[in-house]
Structure 1
Amino acid sequence: MKLSHLAGMLLVGAASFGIFTSCSSEAKKTNGKTIKTAAGVDSTLIETEGETEIVREPIDTAKYNALIKKNANGDTTGKWPVKKQPYPLDGAILPFKRIVVYYGNLHSKKMGALGEYAPKEMWRRLNAEVKRWEKADPSTPVQAGVHYIAAVASGTPGKDGKYINRMGNKQIDSVLKIAKMQKNTIVFLDLQVALSTIKAELPHIEKYLQLPFVHLGIDPEFSMKDGSKPGKKIGTYDAADINYVSQHLADMVKKYNLPPKVFVIHRFTRKMVSNYQNIKLRPEVQIVMHMDGWGEPDLKIGTYRHFIYSEPVQFTGFKLFYKNDLKKAPNRLMTPEELLKLKPAPIYIQYQ
């Protein structure tokens, strides 16, 4: 979301929720049955004396190595693929699948395709994008999902003076209900902390992050550490903030026996993420540095090269704006075929 989308948002809503996807190895009363996780990794359910436990199989490390090498697209600089990264736990989505999502908030048509269109139309459009990616790269399955702004930086201070509008549980439940309309989808909850902190905001969505299909995004653009009002300047996160979040997610994965969490960090300037080289990688968390800038293709490619490619962390993402990317010539969206030529090829794609 860009700066012009902030002013004076008042957010209300209601719905119910209930969802299950195959992203987790859900234990059922089965004796020795082999199941598949989101990454296609085998796990076995074994029933012993009335209790069912999951016996997890390790990921196929040879396949993992081959996929991250393929994803580096022949980079010869030594930056990609990232060296010394831990193998993920079983159930990892990346790099076994490419994630393709719609981004937005249900209460604003200006913040993204998720919210601009009614749910059925939204899914029709997103599924069309999924098919384009499947055609462009048949060797990589697509994991569809929605990326919801669960805390929105605001132009007004609010009761607590933090310039943040937090979506209530009913609003988030409504997003999960929309996700349930299509099988095997995932959900990202995104936090724009404004004058609050990431440590203070994570507890507001804690119960949702305990679900195996719910993942996390954070937006440094709206992390106003110097007390500036959001929208007046671009904010920042340090590696220490990112490490705090990834450790928190890792603890949840271990506590609740979850598949790895995908953790998306938006970025389109260097100062949005400081000390990137100190970001820690963990088997329980898959970090995506996501190119969030808009504009003509050459500008977007340059942003990706300078701030995503040149400061490698783990995986990469790329955002496409249906409206803002068309403001200047050549007035078109970049295609999957074009993005697949980037080094590395983005494994997380977001449409706004």
Structure 2
Amino acid sequence: MRKLQFPVIFALFCGMVACNGKSGNDSTPSSEENIKKEEVKIRKPVDQAGYDVLLQYIANDDTTGLWPVPDQPLPLEGAVLPYNRIVAYYGNLYSKNMGVLGEYPPDEVWRRLDKEVEAWKAADPNTPVLPAIHYIAVVAQGNAMKDGKWRFRMPAHQIDSALAIAKMRKALVFLDVQVGLSTVEEEIPQLEKYLLMPHVHLGIDPEFSMKDGTPPGKKIGTYDAKEINFCSEYLAELVRKNNLPPKILVIHRFTKGMLTNYKDIRLRPEVQIVINMDGFGRPELKYSTYERFIRPKPVQFTGFKLFYKNDVKQFPHHMLAPEELMKLRPRPVYIQYQ
């Protein structure tokens, strides 16, 4: 019996020696070495001084005291903003009426978007420009659908097509969600396999978030801070668990009621929040919307949407140029073309 027990005891002894790091075998990492490897994976906050300089730059001598947003947490390493400006094309591949992504084949999309990227580089040589594809992955519908949620989730092959278009320029991707009568709690987890990709970010559209059973499109919808906080915490958890660079959360806005209790929105090192001015019309109207609903209601960063068709319908038939938007206080760091 002792002979049968010996190999077991020997194995246990060898295991104990190895665990204590005393075996003399260099190929076996010690527990201390394992801890160091884990520490390497942890993303640290960015440099405070450099970050503050860039925040002051995009504040553009704002005198309200609202910009830059005070007491915001430092983002983790790998953050896109404010180190870059994002210039995105928006739309859905099924529809020519929802934006340029559905109007043109991929090569033409990039010919046009490349031109806009170069225009922004010229208007602001101090800020690198990153192109992006902003794809509507959940689309509000004019009928209830089988589950009564008034929204349609794009099939995986369509989302994959948007990713493939972005890959042509190694661009960022934003997946936009119009919940209809569904909720962000129900819809965002459906996109997790994409949001786990380091270059994929999230957009949510309050316009089509209906709270009282009204079908989308009949009136303007709304999100509350608690729904924004759900989205940002969901993204933050993905970042923490998977060692991802910070995610960006874009929230569209062009009325007061589209976003309630904005002061309760929580900022996190893992997520950067952009409030995107989404209204269309002549320049004076767009400036007014920015001054009423974006500038005086600071969250973290701002964006500005431009419409190739709707912005030029009325006199003076003029879509705002990068040089004009650079005069805004604060300067938008996310630009979206539809």
TM-score category of the 2 structures, normalised to the smaller one:
0.7 to 0.9
TM-score by length of 1: 0.84
Kindly report which structure 2 residues correspond to 1:331-342, keeping only aligned pairs within 5 A, or say none: 331-342=317-328
CA distance in 1, matches of 2:256, 2:36: 56
Where structure 1 has 5 or more consecutive residues not aligned to the other structure, the ranges are: 1-45
Kindly report which structure 2 residues correspond to 1:90-239, keeping only aligned pairs within 5 A, or say none: 90-183=77-170, 185-239=171-225
Aligned length: 306
Q: CA deviation at 1:163?
A: 0.8
SS of the counterpart of 1:309? Answer: coil
Q: Which residue of 1 aligns with 2:277?
A: 291
Q: Which residue of 2 aligns with 1:312?
A: 298
CA distance 1:319–1:49, shift in 2 (3 Å): closer
Answer with 1 or 2: which has the greater Rg: 2
Counterpart residue identity of residue 77, structure 2: D
Q: CA deviation at 1:63?
A: 1.1
CA distance in 2, matches of 1:79, 1:314: 10
SS of the counterpart of 2:181? Answer: coil
Where structure 2 has 5 or more consecutive residues not aligned to the other structure, the ranges are: 1-32
Runs of 4+ that moved beyond 6 A? 46-52
CA distance in 1, matches of 2:49, 2:112: 35
Residue by residue over 1:143-199, the C-alpha shift from the partner in whole angstroms, topping out at 9 and shown as x without a partner, is 11100000000001111111101101111111111111113x110000000000110
SS of the counterpart of 1:301? Answer: helix
CA distance 1:330–1:164, shift in 2 (3 Å): same
Q: Share of identical aligned residues, percent?
A: 61
Kindly report which structure 2 residues correspond to 1:22-41, keeping only aligned pairs within 5 A, or say none: none
Choose between structure 1 and 2: higher strand proportion: 1
Q: Which residue of 1 aligns with 2:335?
A: 349
Q: CA deviation at 1:203?
A: 1.7
- What is the aligned counterpart of 1:250 among 215, 230, 236? 236
TM-score by length of 2: 0.88
Is residue 262 of structure 1 aligned with residue 251 of structure 2?
A: no
Choose between structure 1 and 2: higher helix proportion: 2
Kindly report which structure 2 residues correspond to 1:58-77, keeping only aligned pairs within 5 A, or say none: 58-77=45-64
SS of the counterpart of 1:283? Answer: coil
Kindly report which structure 2 residues correspond to 1:38-53, keeping only aligned pairs within 5 A, or say none: none
CA distance in 2, matches of 1:249, 1:49: 26
CA distance in 1, matches of 2:267, 2:38: 34
Deviates more, 1:132-141 or 1:60-69: 60-69
Q: CA deviation at 1:104?
A: 0.1
Q: CA deviation at 1:58?
A: 4.0
SS of the counterpart of 2:336? Answer: strand
Tell me if the contact between 2:75 and 2:246 (Cα under 8 Å) persists in the aligned partners: yes
Tell me if the contact between 2:42 and 2:243 (Cα under 8 Å) persists in the aligned partners: no
CA distance 1:272–1:56, shift in 2 (3 Å): closer
Counterpart residue identity of residue 225, structure 2: A
Is residue 327 of structure 1 aligned with residue 313 of structure 2?
A: yes
Deviates more, 1:141-150 or 1:51-60: 51-60
CA distance in 2, matches of 1:77, 1:169: 45
Q: CA deviation at 1:60?
A: 2.2
Tell me if the contact between 1:216 and 1:264 (Cα under 8 Å) persists in the aligned partners: yes
Q: CA deviation at 1:61?
A: 1.7
- What is the aligned counterpart of 1:272 among 227, 246, 258? 258
Counterpart residue identity of residue 241, structure 1: E
Counterpart residue identity of residue 133, structure 1: W
SS of the counterpart of 1:125? Answer: helix
Q: CA deviation at 1:47?
A: 11
Residue by residue over 1:84-124, the C-alpha shift from the partner in whole angstroms, topping out at 9 and shown as x without a partner, is 10000000000000000000000111100111110000001
Tell me if the contact between 2:304 and 2:336 (Cα under 8 Å) persists in the aligned partners: yes
Output the aligned Cα RMSD: 1.8
